[in-house]
Chain A
Amino acid sequence: MELEVRIKLKQGVADPEGENTSKALKLLGFSNVNSVRTVKTFIIDLRETDADKARAEVEAMCEKLLANPVIQEYEIR
């Protein structure tokens, strides 16, 4: 089964890539832009049919590698 992991920066952590993109969009004339936040997505295909087990495994992946708890939070769906 396939699971999607979204890694985003925690509230209060600066997002220079998002800020720069926001600035660029405004320069291109998109004056409605309030802010831009960047999110990284991993789509993981697992040889596992049990949804709970798959989720637990992906959670372990987030803890071990995919997310840095100091600055990021993750969401699995």
Chain B
Amino acid sequence: MIKVCVLRIEGTNCEEETALAFARLGASTELVHLKQLTGAVKERDRRNLADYDLLVIPGGFSAGDYVRAGAIFAARLKGALSAELSEFVSEGKPILGICNGFQVLVELGLLPGNGDNRYAALTTNSSAHFECRPTLLKHENRGNCIFTKGIPRGAILKMPCAHAEGNFFIANEEYIQRLEDNDQIVFRYVDPAGNYASYPWNPNGSVYNIAAICNPEGNILGMMPHPERAFYSFTDHEWWRAGGKRGRGGEVGTYGDGKKLFESIMDHLRSHIYML
């Protein structure tokens, strides 16, 4: 059975839906508080990161998003779980960060990776607004990212975003080429015709319309939009606006595009774990 750890601290708020998405696809999923991994709990609540096959850092507003979005969560992980986390990553086990989780992975330096890790950041949206809207994501990865192997290159998926600090900033635009060369770009924001369009299709002003990247090894993925909210068509923000149960948004019980991502992750984990 595939074991998924959905990590929570105060202020994470998408862990239930995220855990449910994996559970619906047959994973054994557990909501684990950071303190359960670092030992500041009773013995029976103690958990060990190494026992899981996938670590997920869910969305939300960890530690109130004070200082910077994800900064406190990242500093606490670095302070208390650094060795376990490095071991997890070096074994090639996957880490998924959604929204706030992506911000945490970038703050940690796990993304974009490449050794010299401090050259990217997720900064305040260009609009200076909290952007909660549907986004269209074009899958760009050429096969490096283990999370999206089941999604055809060029496919466009619809998932909602909901963030104030999702503007992917890179210290030197030449690094974009490095991300391209390493096949680290996973999703880019597009308009309905598939063009790399500006606001509102690119909701935050991200350079190169970047919505999701992975590390050079392909086992760490960070993305701003929320696949767990689009697991079912009727949990997608867009459903009500598109007519809800009157039909245009999709019938209750039908699936949204987010499910494709979770299926792709589960397929990879199944084939990988059974091969071991």
Which A residues contact B (CB, under 8 angstroms)? 13-17, 19-20, 64-66, 68-71
Which 9 pairs across A and B sit closest by C-beta, in order of nearness?
A16-B128, A70-B121, A20-B128, A65-B75, A71-B121, A16-B124, A17-B128, A70-B118, A16-B126
Q: In the complex, A26→B6 CA distance in Å?
A: 46
Residues of chain A with a CB closer than 8 A to B171's CB: 70
Most chain A CB within a 10 A radius of its CB, from B72, B121, B205: B121
- Determine whether the beta carbon of B75 is less than 8 Å from that of A68: no
**Is B71 an interface position by the 8 A CB rule?**
yes
Using A16-B124, A70-B171 as known contacts, list a sample of 11 further A-B pairs with CB atoms less than 8 Å apart, ordered by residue number in A.
A13-B169, A14-B123, A15-B124, A16-B125, A16-B205, A65-B67, A66-B67, A68-B68, A68-B71, A70-B120, A70-B121
- Determine whether the beta carbon of B128 is less than 8 Å from that of A71: no
Which B residues contact A (CB, under 8 angstroms)? 67-68, 71-72, 75, 78-79, 107, 118-121, 123-128, 167, 169, 171, 205
Residue of B nearest to A19 (CB): B128
**Minimum Cβ distance to chain A for residue B50 (Å):** 25
- Determine whether the beta carbon of B126 is less than 8 Å from that of A14: yes
**Minimum Cβ distance to chain A for residue B62 (Å):** 13
Q: In the complex, A13→B71 CA distance in Å?
A: 18
Residues of chain B with a CB closer than 8 A to A20's CB: 128
Residues of chain B with a CB closer than 8 A to A15's CB: 124
